[in-house]
Structure 1
Amino acid sequence: MGKRIFLAGATSAIGKRLIPLLTQAGHHVVGTTRSTVKAETLARSGIEPVVVDVFDADALNRAVKTAEPEIVIHQLTALPPGLDPALMGEALKANARVRKEGTQNLVHAAQGVGVRRLIAQSLAWVYMPGPQPFTEASPLYTGAIDELDVSKRGVIALEDSVMNAAPIEGIVLRYGRMYGPGTGFDSPPSALPLHVDAAAYAAFLSIDHGGPGAYNIAEPNDEVATAKAVADLGWNPAFRLPMKKSAPYMKEVRRFGAGRFSLYSS
């Protein structure tokens, strides 16, 4: 049975790859954007668009209340296409604000309508220096917070908001460095690579599987351990969206969902 899902950041790189997974599974999706032009694109993709700014708390509260979601998925970012170095300085500050203020607003809106679970993207490279591979139980670099770079401060604020959103079940997906469609990078980076489709797949699985907490989401590497995501979510880093949303598309999705539970369990 499909669920009502509020996808914040539906036009982000991950959001775009997540939409077909959600719609093919029969979920009713309300997706956010700040652009009326992008809202038209979202409507054509089969979801219900809503134009709202995450920093406008009142408007966001109204949007979430109208959507009546069971699940909120937070894929909001403020990064430039291809991580353009000329734009990254200001973009990192804007992105940190999204992670801190935007996440707080989203959590409050979700709490106001009784959302069951909130799934948010985080980063897999904010661990305190120490023995590797880092597990989800390894401490984040929270010491001397004022000395941290702006991205790390934003990540720590985001995780704090999501993990302490009770009674909502908060899940943070600590993503590696992404590549693939919409990211501006065709080839995997040398450290913590993660294809954008596999990132979207982790968010999709988190709707029904796993418990509250953090999950490292990256391709096999020596820096962070990903066994928890594989075991608890049923995640597979090799997942890729097929080129067409057809019968072969559904067969491919089910193939990666095969195992001890179905990708489409209610």
Structure 2
Amino acid sequence: MEKLEDQLITVRDWLRWAVSRFNEAGLFFGHGCDNAYDEAVWLILHGLSLPLDRLEPFLDARLTRAERQTLSNLLERRIGQRVPTAYLTREAWLGEFRFYVDERVIVPRSYFAELLEEGLHPWLDDPLEIGTALDLCTGSGCLAILMAHAFQNAAIDGVDLSPEALAVARRNVAEYGLEEQVRLVRSDVFDGLEGYRYDLIISNPPYVTTGAMEAIPAEYLHEPSLALVAGSDGLDVVRRILAQGAEHLTPGGLLLVEVGHNAHLVEEAWPQVPFTWIDAPSGESKIFLMSREELLEHFA
């Protein structure tokens, strides 16, 4: 039987084949793209070391046998093993920011990325007034890096329990030349931050429920479970953040926590608390905001 790499000759051939197979295989797209076409373009252009924003000039280019073998191997891993494209390419994007990723960290995805583009306006009047900020559960360091760009006068701490994740974060911080502004700390939530207080704390913590993990698409099983699962209601880490958050905020400081689709679980767990929910361009009520004073009132 003729091998795949002998049948598909041009970039156009490989792209058509990949889109068809992605759809046929029922792949899940939740790690940077939301459809088969965009993900196939990303994977093919990366595999050929071509610019990710220049497809048209190369569509009818004939590929060498070595290039075709490279694409065959990449596409087989994406289809057969359900490996997210971000892990195959070793990169993920939040807006214009590129980050190195591998299986030691979850693939960056956060509603915070959109909000940080505007310096958390209107919840913060002046980003330049933020002197200290914390990214709790930093993973790859992506949000700490975005915070460093948004709050240029701030000393940023990025905290994670996983030493493997922090190794990836160090690589990303170094690639952006932010070693003087971003400090990475190994800590189990706030346990290693005694005495530290911040004007702003953001967190995109683990919040997947144990029930949801049983039905989660196979692509997510390549990610570290430590960064995903947080108990039966997904709120194990959120509880610790709320209980300890006030003692790590300066007067007037703000805490923002992303919980994805679990807003209803948060409100069910604390029905007496008037949470302020923030809308991002791509999602409503995915992040809640609380001031230090509100934390003292409801969780002290």
Normalising TM by the smaller chain, what interval?
0.3 to 0.5
**TM-score, normalized by length of structure 1?**
0.40
User: Looking at CA atoms only, which structure, 1 or 2, has the larger radius of gyration?
Assistant: 2
TM normalised by structure 2 equals 0.36
